[in-house]
Chains A and B, each alone.
With several copies, the nearest count.
Chain A
Amino acid sequence: MQLRLLYFAWVREALGRGEEVRDFPSGVTTIADVLSALSQYDERYAGAFAAPERLRFALDQVYAGPETPIRDGGELGIFPPVTGG
């Protein structure tokens, strides 16, 4: 299961990157699973994702809750609540 991951605002700064492509094992099926998997890889992910209620998600550029199933080749955006306008 491969995902293109995009990070914005303080999430991007905390992770030190704006974008990456990663493969996940077959047990990773939802956005919440992705956060857990990433948090196990690296302390910076663990720190940035420690309070998931402060995060919002978009799957293929559409807002999605943490229990939304991911798809192979999909694009997952992870970011704080938006503050435009």
Chain B
Amino acid sequence: MADRVIETRVQTAPFDAGAECAALVRDGIVGAVVSFTGHVRGSAGDVLELQHYPGMTEGQIAAIADEAARRWDLTGGLVIHRHGPLPVGAPIVLVAVASRHRGDAFRAAEFLIDWLKVKAPFWKKEGDRWVEAQAADDAAAAGWQ
């Protein structure tokens, strides 16, 4: 993935969003970094289990990342999506995008998370209940077509 504008990772480990964003700033050409982190909501003690489709996950996220790099003028970026058990408050996903001008980074970051929501093959289980997909997510992704 070294030659991709936007790097992608699927992992169980936590990530350091600040360090990852700082690493996107180099060469004096980056004027803006926009990041999104998604977090586990719920009550203290709840645990979210994130299952995914190994192989397909990486392929889908890379395809979405490449599409973002095609659509906007970006200098770099990173998508990290975690799986496995995650406590309330834990970061699930990081989308970070760097660009010369801030509009590109804002557009690309929101596009990436909107599409990840409907394309990346992850399934959330809260306690013993599988989370239902939301029509709002389909609508958000459709807005980018």
- Interface positions of A (Cβ within 8 A of B): 6, 8-10, 12, 58, 61, 63, 77, 79-85
Q: B93 on the interface (CB 8 Å rule)?
A: yes
Which chain B residue shows the least CB distance to A9?
A: B123
How far apart are A20's CB and chain B's nearest CB, in angstroms? Answer: 15
How far apart are A40's CB and chain B's nearest CB, in angstroms? Answer: 26
Which chain A residue shows the least CB distance to B36?
A: A85
Give the contact-size bracket for chain B.
Answer: 20 to 34
How far apart are A82's CB and chain B's nearest CB, in angstroms? Answer: 5
Answer whether A85 and B56 are a contact pair too, CB < 8 Å, given A79-B123, A80-B130: no
Q: Are A58 and B120 in contact (CB under 8 A)?
A: no
Please measure, in the bound complex, the distance between the C-alpha atom of A10 and the C-alpha atom of B92, giving whole angstroms.
21
Q: Are A82 and B51 in contact (CB under 8 A)?
A: no
Of the residues B53, B92, B131, B137, contact of A8 by C-beta under 8 Å: B53
List 12 A-B residue pairs with CB atoms under 8 Å apart, sorted by A's residue number: A8-B53, A61-B53, A61-B56, A61-B59, A63-B119, A77-B56, A79-B53, A79-B121, A79-B123, A82-B122, A84-B92, A85-B122
Which chain A residue shows the least CB distance to B82?
A: A84
Q: Are A9 and B133 in contact (CB under 8 A)?
A: no
Q: Which residues of chain B are near A61, meaning CB under 8 Å?
A: 53, 55-56, 59-60
Q: Which residues of chain A are near B59, meaning CB under 8 Å?
A: 61
How far apart are A32's CB and chain B's nearest CB, in angstroms? Answer: 20
Q: B116 on the interface (CB 8 Å rule)?
A: yes
Please measure, in the bound complex, the distance between the C-alpha atom of A9 and the C-alpha atom of B123, giving whole angstroms.
6
Q: Which residues of chain B are near A85, meaning CB under 8 Å?
A: 38, 81, 92-93, 113, 116-117, 120, 122, 137
Please measure, in the bound complex, the distance between the C-alpha atom of A24 and the C-alpha atom of B132, giving whole angstroms.
31
Which chain A residue shows the least CB distance to B56?
A: A61
Please measure, in the bound complex, the distance between the C-alpha atom of A85 and the C-alpha atom of B53, giving whole angstroms.
14
Please measure, in the bound complex, the distance between the C-alpha atom of A12 and the C-alpha atom of B51, giving whole angstroms.
11
Q: Are B117 and A9 in contact (CB under 8 A)?
A: no
Q: Are A83 and B123 in contact (CB under 8 A)?
A: yes
How far apart are A46's CB and chain B's nearest CB, in angstroms? Answer: 20
Of the residues A6, A58, A63, A82, contact of B123 by C-beta under 8 Å: A82
